[in-house]
Chain A
Amino acid sequence: MSFSRAQFERAFNPRVVAVIGDKQMNGFLWLRALQQFSGKLYSVQIDPNEIPLIEAMGVTNVRSLLDIPEAVDYAVVAVPRSVASRVLADCVRKQVGAVTLFTAGFSETDDPEGIRLEQEIASAARDAHLLLVGPNCMGIANPRLGLCNFPHQPVGVAAAGHVGFIGQSGTHTITFCMRAPVEGVGISKAVSFGNGVVADAADYLDYFRDDVETTVIAAYVEGVRDGRRFFEALRRTAALKPVILWKGGVTEAGQRAIFSHTAALATPAVVWRGMVRQAGAVGVDSQDALLDVARTLLAGRTATGLRAGLIAMTGGPSVVMTDAFSQAGLDVPLLSEASYAKLREFFQVVGGSLRNPLDAGSTIAMGLRSDNLARLLDILDRDEMIDVIGLDLGAALAIDRYVEHPELAGTMTDALVSFAQRSSKPFAVVADAPHRPIDAARLRDDLRTRGVLTFVSPHRAAHAVRQAVEYWRVRAGVE
């Protein structure tokens, strides 16, 4: 069923939120999740044992939703399923903008009573034209407003950004909201829609397509109620902004697991894959890949060429990096003659190689000669044979020296940051040192926060770059 954009706007940007039925047994999950909400929060609870605990949290409690003296934009319903219908009726009377039904035990079970109750709730919501999120879900998050669907989710400027997340799983939605900001991916809005009986993935895609805060859409989907409707929404959305789809249940065993989770029908993985490509969206198979591709697309490079220019510090990594980029479907061609002419002016061939990849450890003196690193990168940037640039920093060999001599690391990161600013080609930096994971993470964070796209492995870098390029190729009609 279709809802107006205004209904979605109100649901995702609420000023007044009510939580109905949160309690100690539930660890006050919802009231704790909404502790940082910037608007007004009410609790609705009649149990005299619970009310003092709720009030001790500083939350205003009322005994009925209808007692709230102002309009309620968004309500979370956490009551047992047997009374869910009655509470929803209150929400309709109160003209609540949207309702998340956290309550589970509906069509995701085999229980006929659960299926019957879900139908009852769905038809009541449809009749009232109520935007019902769920049931069996974690609902809406908007970090900018401190609207969270789990306690301790990052909020505010540090967590807000431009990726919209749509999740059929509550856990995947929450963990994405927790993790993405840590990796430099801010979230515009997120929704976990569970059984999606009234509004489902297609509706949220359409809303995020029109949402100006959202520039990249990431989604976790197990199955869809109306495949054609989903496909059409996906296609019209992907034509405007990138959509990255993580599909759960791609194996037969996984599909059995889906059935008891969201009861979605099984579509063979190969059909799903074809559908995603036909719609112009990007398909991935893990949360890692979802974030990798989102980060790469957020960098805003719209290159459509497949030719990679690669730099590594030593022989083995330059071979493996070349394999990784080739396996991902990128070409690693020879550079132009002009590039080789420039390289010969200063490239240390002893202990290196200046084909492609550039095995450049000697030339860059393992990071000591940041000026030479910048020269190499500029040559790749100006080379018309090259569309994307990959650099493996060889951090495992360099990290000890970087830690001992922070000024060396500083000069090197400055060079990379400045290159990322002046180049318009997709630029991926691989930096990992498994024996000093914390220092390596710090190095990546330093680069990332200053606008350099970083990865822990050449394979993840290559796949993310390839997928991002593929999105723009489809957009541009390149084959």
Chain B
Amino acid sequence: MTTRALNEIEAKAWLVEAGIPVTRAELARTPAEAAAIAERLACPVALKIVSADIVHKSALDGVRLNLTTAAAAAAAFEAIMQAVRARQAQARVDGVSVQPMAPPGAVEVIVGVSCDAQFGQVIMCGLGGVFVEVLQDVAFRLIPLQPRDARQMLTELRGLPLLRGVRGRPAVDLHAVEDLLLRVSDLVVQRPQIRELDLNPVLAYPDRVVAVDARALIEVT
């Protein structure tokens, strides 16, 4: 079996097709392109390295956040390229993605698809950060999902109170999270070549959700 990694821009195109909200990322190949996109978006932007060989973008210093001017975007492009070349010279780099910064006030959710040796494609959902990494607070289901499964996945999480709102923070839109899970499940049914899919993070707000980063591994024949 041969596999190919989809970069953020390719993976997000699939998500958009499936009706999953994403922050639209555009590819810049030069500092000038990065500046032009930032200028056009007219809001604070995030720049991220785009490379099929790089999974952990932050670890390679391949991410710059909250850039408010075109000049800052161009400078960030250079800085990212330099940092990545210094740390992983052999990585095939397509460029840098430029996208609007997501507003603050969200709870980070992680959604993933993987292949289990016995059960095939399964979908995972958890809360970002320590909840997944340290506490392994995640819920799994086989794909395809029924609406009840999506609801139960969220109620199984020990971190559920964070989604329901703690310390005066409002609850996030749980229905939007469930809807996203069902749409990811539909996407995998439509495109069975997906071996892995990571939506990390998905930002959950009181009125909506949005996937701000994505990657996929697909089977190619």
Q: Which residue of A lies closest to B120 (CB)?
A: A228
- In the complex with contacts A227-B119, A266-B117, A267-B118, A277-B142 CB distance below 8 A: no
Per a CB cutoff under 8 Å, which of B116, B120, B141 touches A278?
Answer: B141
Contact with A along B47-90 (1 / 0, CB 8 A): 00000000000000000000000000000000000000000000
Q: Is B118 a contact of A277 with CB atoms below 8 Å?
A: no
Q: Is B118 a contact of A479 with CB atoms below 8 Å?
A: no
Of B118, B142, B146, the most chain A CB neighbours within 10 A belong to B118
How close is A259's CB to chain B, nearest CB, in angstroms? 12
The CA-CA distance from A291 to B140 in the complex, in Å, is 27
Q: Is A231 a contact of B119 with CB atoms below 8 Å?
A: yes
Is A275 located at the chain interface by the 8 A CB criterion? yes
> For residue B153, which residues in chain A have a CB less than 8 angstroms away from its CB?
274
Q: Is A275 a contact of B141 with CB atoms below 8 Å?
A: yes
Residues 110-154 of B contacting A (Cβ, < 8 Å):
116-120, 122, 136, 138-142, 146, 148-149, 151-153
Q: Which residue of A lies closest to B139 (CB)?
A: A274
How close is B135's CB to chain A, nearest CB, in angstroms? 12
Of A228, A231, A268, A274, the most chain B CB neighbours within 10 A belong to A274
Q: Is A278 a contact of B117 with CB atoms below 8 Å?
A: no
How close is B33's CB to chain A, nearest CB, in angstroms? 42
How close is B29's CB to chain A, nearest CB, in angstroms? 40
How close is B119's CB to chain A, nearest CB, in angstroms? 4
Contact with B along A270-313 (1 / 0, CB 8 A): 11011101100000000000000000000000000000000000
The CA-CA distance from A49 to B152 in the complex, in Å, is 63
Q: Is A271 a contact of B116 with CB atoms below 8 Å?
A: yes
> For residue A223, which residues in chain B have a CB less than 8 angstroms away from its CB?
118
Q: Is B118 a contact of A224 with CB atoms below 8 Å?
A: yes
> For residue A268, which residues in chain B have a CB less than 8 angstroms away from its CB?
116, 140
Q: Is A275 a contact of B148 with CB atoms below 8 Å?
A: no
Is A265 located at the chain interface by the 8 A CB criterion? yes
Contact with B along A166-181 (1 / 0, CB 8 A): 0000000000000000
Per a CB cutoff under 8 Å, which of A226, A266, A271 touches B122?
Answer: A271
> For residue A271, which residues in chain B have a CB less than 8 angstroms away from its CB?
116, 119, 122, 140
Per a CB cutoff under 8 Å, which of A230, A231, A278 touches B149?
Answer: A278
> For residue B140, which residues in chain A have a CB less than 8 angstroms away from its CB?
268, 270-271, 273-275
- In the complex with contacts A278-B149, A479-B148, A267-B116 CB distance below 8 A: yes
The CA-CA distance from A228 to B116 in the complex, in Å, is 11
Q: Is A277 a contact of B119 with CB atoms below 8 Å?
A: no
How close is A336's CB to chain B, nearest CB, in angstroms? 28
How close is A58's CB to chain B, nearest CB, in angstroms? 46
- In the complex with contacts A270-B138, A278-B142, A227-B118 CB distance below 8 A: yes
Q: Is B149 a contact of A265 with CB atoms below 8 Å?
A: no
> For residue B152, which residues in chain A have a CB less than 8 angstroms away from its CB?
277, 479
- In the complex with contacts A231-B142, A274-B141, A267-B117 CB distance below 8 A: yes
The CA-CA distance from A226 to B153 in the complex, in Å, is 24
Residues 442-479 of A contacting B (Cβ, < 8 Å):
477, 479
Q: Is A270 a contact of B119 with CB atoms below 8 Å?
A: no
> For residue A231, which residues in chain B have a CB less than 8 angstroms away from its CB?
119, 142
> For residue B136, which residues in chain A have a CB less than 8 angstroms away from its CB?
270
Residues 94-121 of B contacting A (Cβ, < 8 Å):
116-120
How close is B94's CB to chain A, nearest CB, in angstroms? 33
The CA-CA distance from A319 to B27 in the complex, in Å, is 62
Q: Is A275 a contact of B149 with CB atoms below 8 Å?
A: no
Residues 18-55 of A contacting B (Cβ, < 8 Å):
none
Q: Is A267 a contact of B119 with CB atoms below 8 Å?
A: yes
> For residue A227, which residues in chain B have a CB less than 8 angstroms away from its CB?
116, 118-120, 142
> For residue A226, which residues in chain B have a CB less than 8 angstroms away from its CB?
118
The CA-CA distance from A230 to B149 in the complex, in Å, is 18
The CA-CA distance from A226 to B138 in the complex, in Å, is 24
Q: Which residue of A lies closest to B114 (CB)?
A: A271
> For residue B139, which residues in chain A have a CB less than 8 angstroms away from its CB?
270, 274
Of A271, A273, A479, the most chain B CB neighbours within 10 A belong to A271
How close is B81's CB to chain A, nearest CB, in angstroms? 38
How close is A275's CB to chain B, nearest CB, in angstroms? 6
The CA-CA distance from A224 to B140 in the complex, in Å, is 18
The CA-CA distance from A141 to B54 in the complex, in Å, is 56
Q: Is B142 a contact of A479 with CB atoms below 8 Å?
A: no
> For residue B141, which residues in chain A have a CB less than 8 angstroms away from its CB?
274-275, 278
Q: Which residue of A lies closest to B155 (CB)?
A: A479
How close is B125's CB to chain A, nearest CB, in angstroms? 10
Q: Is A265 a contact of B122 with CB atoms below 8 Å?
A: no
Q: Which residue of A lies closest to B140 (CB)?
A: A274
Task: Please give the residue numbers on chain A whose beta carbons come within 8 Å of chain B beta carbons, in ascending order.
Answer: 223-228, 230-231, 264-268, 270-271, 273-275, 277-278, 477, 479
Q: Knowing that A267-B116, A270-B139 are A-B contacts, what are 4 other residue pairs whose CB atoms are under 8 Å apart, sorted by A's residue number?
A: A231-B119, A271-B116, A274-B141, A477-B148
A-B contact list, 30 entries, CB within 8 Å = A224-B118, A226-B118, A227-B116, A227-B119, A227-B142, A228-B119, A228-B120, A230-B118, A231-B142, A264-B118, A265-B117, A265-B118, A266-B117, A267-B116, A267-B117, A268-B116, A268-B140, A270-B140, A271-B116, A274-B122, A274-B139, A274-B153, A275-B119, A275-B140, A275-B141, A275-B142, A278-B141, A278-B149, A477-B148, A479-B152
